[in-house]
Amino acid sequence: MSQPVDRLSSNSSGITASGGPSDLIAEDRSLPPTLGACGAVMVMVGLFGVAMHFAERAFPVGPSVGLVGALLGFLLLMVHAALERSEAILLAYLGLGALLMVAGMAALVSGSLFLEGRALGAGGFLVGLPLALAASRSLGLGEKKRKDQSVRLAAVWAPRVIGLLGAIGALAGILWLFMLAERGDFTNLGLPTLVALFSLIAVLGYLGLVGLSSDTAYKLGWIACYVGMGLAAAVIVRSGLHAWGVWRAQGASHFIPGGWIILALSLLVGLGSFALVSESPAVVVFRREMAAFFLSPIAYFVMMAFALGTWTSYSLFLDRLADRQVLEPILGNYVIELFIVLCVLFGVPLLTMRLLSEEKRSGTLEVLLTAPVDELSIVLGKFFAALVTYLIIWLPFGLYLLALPITNQPGFDYRPLMSYALALVVSGAGFIALGLALSSLSSNQLISGALTLTAMILLLSPYILQFRQGIEGTAWSTVLQHVSFLNLWESSLEGKLVPRQLVFHISLAVLSLFVATKVLEARRWQ
């Protein structure tokens, strides 16, 4: 994860291999350009589709599919940028990323290009940042072989400029907030907060790239963490005060609609920087597991499957919207869908099966458990890494929803998304913890995966069983309702969060984590 850019040039001495088989030996050389080409085509076709939509011309690729396609295409470009070694291509990526970031930030601040300018600006910024960072990292990796001084400078300075501008942006945003507050203007706090948060995300990206070996970077990371957490706390307190009528700023926006976006973003920044800088064993294990997911193709393949599954269900959803056959909650038609359920059924085992099995098989568990780390930290680190990966894999799903309003579809009530997001986290925690516990039982990944798949099917069955004759209407039916994750999803999409439906999934998660810890400890009993 961390490759200190400054020290890249210091590794010349040594008895072997400085010019020998290099980083790419394990990676397939033909794969990155192919991914890049696919990504470029997807971006171009997708953006063309969006442009055609705004120009009101007919084009086979609709605007929403085009937008999502473009975003996925950018994802492929990022993968290519991370693996490519050719200077010209990397510089092009660096330029493209920088352009997207600048344009995105400009659109975010002005918000006047057209109605959805801010959303598109935010998207552009978030796509451009990792693209630029990935390209400059790759430029830095091959630094020894590069003769061109300007390329070297680009590799070293591009991330620094991003980090510096991010820090300036964050400070400016926070100063802006204070100025508005001083003037007693509480109506426009959203924009400066967003600017500050996006700038902090850029700072985090920079920190993630250069690593936290320097004390400055380390301290910056903690500052970002505290700022993010502070902003989150401020939103909660402010919304709470508002909700109970203790204090109402004149016309100030509260939790809905702006507050929760800021809350989510500031939590992202706060927790993200905590995950980057903290050195408690669980977080260290978490970082390694995240790297294992995203440095190997597994996360990307599962993500691809999810993107396809959600795309299918999204297009069916659009058809139904066009036929006006939808009942509230509209989103229920999108989520409770065969393809999405299938993706979850198969996706969870794919993510969890290697967690402990692989370590047992390869013997790395022995190295891990003879370091001064307790079993619980290892289990928690792995659990949160898999859970976060699982949630990241849901991103395409969210992207389609973002695309929906931009394409002039009938508006939908987005507020249930908040309760749905919570339901997704809670049910996901249950799945992932269960998979982790099952992965601790075997040193064979396939066995762990098959066990988890069985368990997932068992978890799905209550949804179907509750309507069977002889069960429907009895107490069993109620029990099954509380156990079924699809029931939880359904009611959360209606905007309800029923605690008794959460209980089962939370206890499943806690129990499974307990079991996994005990299984690891069990080698020491007898």
Partner 1 sequence: MAEMMVQVSQLTKHFGQVLALSNVSFGLERNEIVGLLGNNGAGKSTLMRILTTFLPATSGTAKVDGFDVLNQSMEVRNRIGYLPENIPLYPEMRVEEYLVYRAQLKGMDRSIRHGRIDEIIERCRITGVRKRLLGTLSKGFRQRVGLADALLADPKLLILDEPTDGLDPGQKQDALALLKELGRDRTILFSSHLLVEVEAIVDRVLILKRGHLAFNQRLAALERDQLMLVEAKGESGAIVGALRAVVASHPIETQSLEEGWVECSVRLPEGFDPRAEVARLLVERSLPLRRLDFRRRTLQDRWNEINNAEAFPSGGAPGAANRGKPQIARVD
Q: Contact residues for partner 1 (CB under 8 A)?
A: 1-3, 11, 13-18, 21-23, 25-26, 141, 213, 215, 218, 279, 281, 284-285, 287-288, 291-292, 295-296, 362-364, 366-374, 523-526
Distance, CA of 37 to CA of 33 (rounded, Å) = 6
Residue 224 C-beta: closest distance to partner 1, Å: 17
**52: part of which helix (H) or strand (E)?**
helix 31-54
Nearer to partner 1 by Cβ, of 48 and 218: the residue is 218
> For residue 245, is it left (φ>0), alpha (ψ between -120 and 50) or beta?
left
Nearer to partner 1 by Cβ, of 86 and 362: the residue is 362
Nearer to partner 1 by Cβ, of 365 and 401: the residue is 365
Please name which of 90, 226, 214, 92 lies closest in space to residue 163, comparing C-alpha atoms.
Answer: 214
Nearer to partner 1 by Cβ, of 223 and 241: the residue is 223
Residue 17 C-beta: closest distance to partner 1, Å: 5
Residue 203 C-beta: closest distance to partner 1, Å: 19
Residue 14 C-beta: closest distance to partner 1, Å: 3
Token pair listed for 159: 């991330």
Residue 191 C-beta: closest distance to partner 1, Å: 37
Residue 301 C-beta: closest distance to partner 1, Å: 15
Angle at alpha carbon of residue 414, lines to 55 and 50, rounded to 5°:
15
Nearer to partner 1 by Cβ, of 373 and 497: the residue is 373
Nearer to partner 1 by Cβ, of 6 and 319: the residue is 6
Q: How far is CA 72 from CA 39, 44, 47, 397, 399, in A?
A: 7, 11, 12, 12, 10
Q: What is the DSSP string of 439-490?
A: HTT-S-HHHHHHHHHHHHHHHHHHHHHTTSTTTTTSHHHHHHHHH-HHHHHH
Residue 81 C-beta: closest distance to partner 1, Å: 18
Token pair listed for 249: 């700023």
Nearer to partner 1 by Cβ, of 38 and 292: the residue is 292
Distance, CA of 231 to CA of 496 (rounded, Å) = 26
Angle at alpha carbon of residue 149, lines to 144 and 150, rounded to 5°:
120
